[in-house]
A and B are shown apart, each in its own frame.
Chain A
Amino acid sequence: MAEIMSLKEAVAAFVKDGATVAMEGFTHLIPHAAAHEVIRQGRRDLTLVRMTPDIIYDQLIGMGCAAKLIFSWGGNPGVGSLHRLRDAVENGWPGKLEIVEHAHAAMANAYEAGAAGLPLAVFRGYLGTDHETVNPDIKRIECPFTGEVLACVPSIRPDVAVIHAQQADKRGNVLLWGITGVQKEAVLAAKNAIVTVEEVVEEIDAAMNATILPRWTVSAVCVVPRGAHPSYAHGYYKRHNAFYKRWDEIARDRDSFREWMDRYVMSAELFDDTWSKLKADGYV
């Protein structure tokens, strides 16, 4: 049952060392503030799950929080590589990172299967590709009705899902809109879910088919305005594309990455401090 609490409390309560954590967001509503808090609290040996690992996973990996990454597209969208992810895979810095590579179709299906309480997801995929030669989680299953051979992967059941949304009400019911990605599935597949929101409103005012996560599907709701920046929150602020381009230079070099993290994340108390520093230094 959702409790409204600080992000610091929520991460301390639900993100433990060694946990399987899915911080989702398909370009939109990426939980940047929450990832920063996980890094600040010094979590280690996390299995990170995400269809599209981008800047926050680059940060978590570069700061040594992750032991394993399950993913389907790991890059800085429209810009290029995630340099910290690459450094970990190519050179083992700052530590060895095990990777489990999937395609989007597999992960989207696996989250849905997780939400549905199934052990596996079945789909028509990985036809003629090399993924199953390096990823033992990809198997084949024969349809008992038609004989068609289909791909299957284990469902995703994270210990904790972390997402950002536009609104919650005072009781902790959550509303998100725009590109909703796999967030609903990730929350329903997970044992616990932390949701950061732009604001808490008196009453959620949404169409009857809106994407709502009722309070009893969520563990913690934390109010963090601008908590998705430099990703975006539809209706609140736009994607900060210029920052994504700047991240390429920041993360390319180990020292400049660490300096940036020290200044904007490690020495910040709250995401508001990060925002103020970014503003003072002309990033935003």
Chain B
Amino acid sequence: MSDDQGFTRDEMMTVAAARLLTNETVCFVGIGLPSAAANLARLTRAPDVVLIYESGTIATKPDVLPLSIGDGELAETARTVVSVPEMFRYWLQGGRIDVGFLGAAQIDRWGNINTSVIGEYHTPKVRLPGGGGAPEIATNTGEVYVILRQSKRTFVDHLDFVTSLGGGPRREGLKIPGKGPTKLITDLGVLEPDPETGELTLVALHKGSTVEQAVAATGWPLKVADTVVETEAPTPDELSVLRDLNARTAKAHAGDA
């Protein structure tokens, strides 16, 4: 997919993810791609969506995307700001969140996520930041949406470390309050867990992407649904709101002093 369609893959991914949120959703938002998608939803189809960031900001409505999870903008535009222990205990563990919206460094076919290490744990090749709030967001929200650019580097056959739980065999025998990952939105399409096995399966392709591209960008033999639907291209309104948001954000982050 290229600019000759009038939008980029990243824009399509963000728009597709934003369309999943509604005015009734209470959403726990990760920083980066999830935050862009969640705020796009709020600025287009779902003005009443409740966005919560782990820094303690509840029902926040930032005008620019935060660079960090605790930018002042999030606090100033929030309905209320609570302490971090309260956030994790009452709001997340207390079962008040419908959707956890996460990014990832690596994901496997079950939706397990690694954001800790690449290589052997004690002598890693790459030390990643770690899980932050994600391990409990992944299990204590009603369901989880993951947004991640698709490539063999990120969609891997084997994770060196499971930082956050997905679906599939690892869930067996565990009492998990939430459903876990129900959607994986990529720059090529959308994957959903197979209802029987839990394995992530390609169910939608964004306009301009092909099954072959998706298979080539996946580090395991990708399951493809019998019927793969095409995602509707971004509307002019979705694109202009997203581009304005990104432009405001870039300007704000370059100039903060």
Contact = CB atoms under 8 A, between A and B. Distances in A.
A and B associate: yes
Interface of A: 26-28, 51-52, 71-75, 77-79, 81-82, 85-86, 89-90, 101, 103-105, 108-109, 111-112, 123-131, 134, 148, 178-182, 184-185, 211, 232, 234, 238-242, 244-245, 284
Given A73-B129, A232-B72, 9 more contacts: A72-B131, A103-B131, A104-B136, A108-B89, A128-B174, A179-B70, A181-B70, A185-B85, A244-B67
Contacts, number: 190
Contact of B67 (A77, A124, A185): A77
A105 B88 contact: yes
Interface stretch (B43-51, B54-62, B222-230): B54-62
Interface of B: 31-32, 54-57, 66-72, 74-75, 81, 83-85, 87-89, 92-93, 112, 116, 121-136, 139-140, 161-165, 170-171, 174-177, 252-257
A75 B170 CA distance: 28
Contacts of B161: 130, 134
A79 B253 CA distance: 11
A128 B257 contact: no
Contact of B81 (A78, A134, A180, A244): A180
Give the residue among B31, B112, B252, B253 with the most A Cβ atoms within 10 A.
B253
A140 B33 CA distance: 34
B75 A105 contact: no
Contact of A89 (B66, B72, B124): B124
A74 B89 contact: no
Given A26-B84, A130-B161, A184-B83, A78 B135 contact: no
A113 to B, nearest CB: 10
A239 B73 CA distance: 10
Looking at chain B's contact residues, is the secondary structure mostly helix, strand, loop, or mixed?
loop
A85 B127 contact: yes
A128 B170 CA distance: 6
B88 A148 contact: no
Given A26-B70, A128-B165, A128-B176, A181 B131 contact: no
17 contacts: A28-B75, A72-B132, A75-B128, A77-B70, A85-B127, A86-B126, A101-B116, A105-B93, A123-B136, A124-B93, A128-B170, A179-B55, A179-B75, A211-B83, A232-B72, A241-B252, A284-B257
Nearest to B253: A241
Contact of B72 (A123, A180, A234, A244): A234
Contact of A242 (B68, B74, B88, B257): B257
